[in-house]
Structure 1
Amino acid sequence: MPAFRWWPWSRRPEPTQPANTVSLPDSLVASMLGAGNFAGTPVTEQTAMGLSAVYRAVSLISGTIAQLPLRTLRMRAGRLDRVGSILDDPQPGFGLTPFEWVETIMLHLLLHGNAYLTHVHNGAGALYALIPHHPLCVEPYWPRPDDRELPVGGRWYRVTDIWGRQSTHDARTLTHISAQSPDGLKGVGPLTIARNSFGTAIAGDRAAAKMFSSGALISGLVTPDDADLEGDEATAIKAELLTSVGGWENAGSIAVVNRRLKFTPWTMSAADAQFLQSRQFSIEEVARWFGVPPHLLMQTEKQTSWGTGVAEQNRGLGRFTLSPWTARVEQRLSRLLGAHRWAEFDFAGLERPNVETEIDLVIKQMQAGLITRTEARALRNLGPTDEGDDSDDEPV
């Protein structure tokens, strides 16, 4: 048997409610049912992520941040050192990998505006693992004025597991990472504040599906010039036209039909054209909500995919979109590491220039004496030279 208890709520008494029920706040139940949406379509994780632009934006931000190395740093005797910590593997030997762990936290933040991590301690009382919980299964609340025991951190958290069991936590047993918060209790995510935009986009997808399943998708109308046709005659004319002009094998051929017929092409109406434009506009709306350049959502109609302008937009993604998210995670996790230690995502790999520019920069740093030859080779993932460290003092 392990020396630690896996479930934090195993120390709590069993709840009186049935084990197959899950308690959620009324506001969360209303949000799951799509309340407050002008389009009247339910906006949930599944329906929102069903939008290609939302899925791309969320996966882009969460995946990019998850691939950044999460370092634990320490300042000692005026020197910055990297040290090991629980953040190197937040669920050691089981559960999520470090990449999946950060990605899950970012998914919770990007969709719901909150990420909750319960603490698991080993037999010696040391922090052993951090377990993410779905935001809909955690209810933060302020303590009542008559509470004799005030929570550490100022807030209580009621966590409901998948079996319906509940446990109460404060900052000693749960870490809460929040997005922008109007009340300081919990953050507000796009599924709440962008409900109308997402609902409109979901309604557009449903309308498009309905148009393809039940709408008129014919190429044109054929009507007789002289008289009305009987049912058998109309069927015969249709078969004759399909045989003469239908399919790839009749491309470029000349159709001869022994009838006096009038063909009217079926063209797209102005309403249909505006419908397509509205669906393109929804991609730009999603890009605004998540702070992602439209070209990274594969929307390149209004701009080129090449050039320095796009390169600057990619750098802006890290500076103006990724950095605020990582700062929230870094500062909360740093409180678990003790004094003079902090967590930091390493953006060096993400911000690296092209190979030619990087090599030129490394050479200039060596010539200025800022780095040694061994350090320069390490930046290029190269081992030390045969001459050893003594070559570091030689001129370039």
Structure 2
Amino acid sequence: MDRLFSRQVEEQRSYSISDPALAAFFGMGSGIAGISISESSVLGLSAVWRAVSLISGTIASVPLKTLRDKNGVREQVSSWLDEPGGIDGPTPFEWTERVVAHMVIHGNAYLAHVYNAAGALIYTVPFHPLAVAPEWEKVDGKSTGRKIFKVSLDDGTVRIFDQSQMTQVMGLSLDGLKGLSPISIARLSLSTAIAGDKAAAKMFGNGPMIAGMVTPEEDVTEEEAKAIKAGLQAKVSGVDNAGEIAVINRKLRFTQWSTSNADAQFLESRQFQIEEIARWYGIPPFELMQTEKQTSWGTGIESQQRGLARTVLSPWGQRLEQRLSRLLPKSQFAEFDFAGLERANPEDEIRLLIEQVRGGLLSRNEARAIRNLPPVPGGDTLAGSESPSALPNIEEVQE
């Protein structure tokens, strides 16, 4: 039988200082703009949703491999990471996406271990970070240097896990106990952005949306005003009246309504908020659909995409890799295969493969395997033991 706990756990009712409900009771968690910052409110910002889904979804789409170093050669082996959420649980993509999203939003991910009857780890269950309060374990009033995790369950009880029962994956941390929550650190910028969204919604909901106002320079009755409006709309609106000359037998004054300087600055500030969110998460603005200040094509975009894999996706992925590796046998380790994200365009990749084959770094069949091509007879020999005429050319690799 699977078991979620390896020892008897304590059940009690308590309230953690990290509880968002307790924070709201004392008025904490709000930005200067007076907007409450929470998981749901920040994900309501399209730029934050895009940033979180981009990081977590991209890492989840990368293969998570279990490797073993055997005589200096890395080979892939099977492990519980093939189904990290269990056969009946979330898929590997869903499991990885959820764990990384927990880190990106809250700065922490918590994985409860599930063991089989033989005591072997078979999968892990991600707990929501707001339900877990890590503490330093104390014995006789002295810290042991180890952690315990108090988990608030749906039934109102609190269960205690130790480090043999739960793995914590931390983001940037200053005390080693808990990772810093990005949405808490960025609460000033995020509260301003949420306030901007609310102000925009209120402006469109309650503000005037007319193009202008026509004022008669003489007194008219209500029926005459309706007739003037109908006559104006019939003569100046619609594609059929494009280029026509309107003749009105009334003396009227037209006042056009346009965006004021204050409104224009408000719209500019909302664009700047997207750049702020991109800066917090280290994502190029074009990945958040902000392309006004940069070109959307060419080698510059390709370089930024490869840089995103190295400077943003890889650090988040390595945090998870190293923690998961500690749950594997000593000869094994976990690794995301980010090579596909950093691949050059097909032409450059083929030229690089040819140079590697000619330099003796790869055999022809190894190069063909990278391009998902079948092996060829005699293609396992490295350069140096074959004649130059036997080496491939770009047309052969492209076949």
SS at match of 2:309: helix
> Among 303, 315, 324, which residue is 2:294 paired with?
303
2:82 paired residue number: 88
1:379 paired residue number: 370
Aligned CA distance change for structure 1 residues 300 and 34 (closer, same or farther; 3 Å)? farther
1:343 is displaced (CA, Å) by 1.2
> Among 148, 166, 172, which residue is 2:164 paired with?
172
* Aligned-partner Cα distance in 2 for 1:194–1:141: 24
2:65 paired residue number: 71
> Are 1:332 and 2:319 an aligned pair?
no
2:48 paired residue number: 54
8 A Cα contact 1:24 1:136, kept in partner: no
> Among 186, 191, 194, which residue is 2:186 paired with?
194
Aligned CA distance change for structure 1 residues 122 and 230 (closer, same or farther; 3 Å)? same
Identify which range, 211-220 or 24-33, moves more after superposition.
24-33
* Aligned-partner Cα distance in 2 for 1:170–1:14: 14
8 A Cα contact 1:31 1:43, kept in partner: no
2:236 paired residue number: 245
* Aligned-partner Cα distance in 1 for 2:227–2:31: 50
> Among 355, 368, 386, which residue is 2:346 paired with?
355
1:368 paired residue number: 359
- Matched ranges for 1:33-48 at <5 A: 35-48=29-42
Aligned CA distance change for structure 1 residues 169 and 104 (closer, same or farther; 3 Å)? same
* Aligned-partner Cα distance in 2 for 1:34–1:54: 21
CA-to-aligned-CA distance 1:122-166 (integer Å, 9 cap, x gap)? 010000111101101111112346358x76x61110112233332
8 A Cα contact 1:34 1:40, kept in partner: no
Identity of aligned residues (%): 52
8 A Cα contact 2:357 2:382, kept in partner: no
Aligned CA distance change for structure 1 residues 174 and 184 (closer, same or farther; 3 Å)? same
SS at match of 2:342: coil
TM-score normalised over the length of structure 2: 0.89
8 A Cα contact 2:108 2:179, kept in partner: yes
- Equivalent residue letter for 1:332: R
TM-score normalised over the length of structure 1: 0.90
* Aligned-partner Cα distance in 2 for 1:8–1:257: 84
Structure 1: give runs of 5+ residues left out of the alignment: none
1:25 paired residue number: 17
Query: How many matched pairs?
Result: 385
1:384 is displaced (CA, Å) by 1.7
Identify which range, 243-252 or 172-181, moves more after superposition.
243-252
1:113 paired residue number: 107
Aligned CA distance change for structure 1 residues 202 and 248 (closer, same or farther; 3 Å)? farther
* Aligned-partner Cα distance in 2 for 1:96–1:42: 31
Structure 2: give runs of 5+ residues left out of the alignment: 392-399
1:307 is displaced (CA, Å) by 2.3
Aligned CA distance change for structure 1 residues 178 and 364 (closer, same or farther; 3 Å)? same
Aligned CA distance change for structure 1 residues 251 and 213 (closer, same or farther; 3 Å)? farther
* Aligned-partner Cα distance in 2 for 1:154–1:328: 19
* Aligned-partner Cα distance in 1 for 2:231–2:30: 54
* Aligned-partner Cα distance in 2 for 1:136–1:9: 23
1:185 paired residue number: 177
* Aligned-partner Cα distance in 1 for 2:335–2:169: 15
* Aligned-partner Cα distance in 1 for 2:276–2:337: 30
- Equivalent residue letter for 1:4: D
2:394 paired residue number: none
